[in-house]
Amino acid sequence: MRIFILALSLVLLLSGCLNSKSKDFKNYITGDWRIENPTLQSFIRFDPNGKTTYFLNRYSYELDTLAEYGSWHLKDIYKGVSLDTFVVEIIKKPQNTEFKFLILEQNRIRVLDEAGETLFTRVHTD
């Protein structure tokens, strides 16, 4: 019985920590991000309600046109030695995409997917 209570306490403690990390990540990722790829600069917006908006280039971002829409959710959190990895699934047509986010700085993240890695920089709106 004591082992059961100890195990239940440990599970509740760990789930509380993961829930806190999930909420912190959601607050962190919300906003507009510039995707720094070598050929063109595209943008992605993460809304707090789980919606995403992808803009192909700066022109479509500034005019808020020609966007692709989808939704996102935090799928998993992997505990790292110095950095945690946040796995985000973006649900959109024609296929869903899964990204692994490593938070480098307050306004910069490294994003890993099957194609390689890309840096995202937060867009500051004044």
Percent of the chain surpassing pLDDT 90: 47
Question: Encoding tokens for residue 102?
Answer: 């490593």
pLDDT digits (tens, 9 = 90+) for 69-86: 999 999 999 888 778 899
Please report the beta strands in 1-107, taking only residues with DSSP state E, as ranges in sequence order.
31-36, 41-46, 51-55, 67-78, 85-91, 97-105
Average pLDDT across the chain, whole number: 83
CA angle 106, 100, 52 (to 5 degrees): 75
Residues 107-122: what's their mean pLDDT? Answer: 91
The pLDDT value given to residue 3 = 58
The pLDDT value given to residue 79 = 87
Q: Is the pLDDT of residue 9 over 80?
A: no
Whole-model pTM above 0.85?
no
Confidence of residue 45 (pLDDT cuts 50, 70, 90): very high
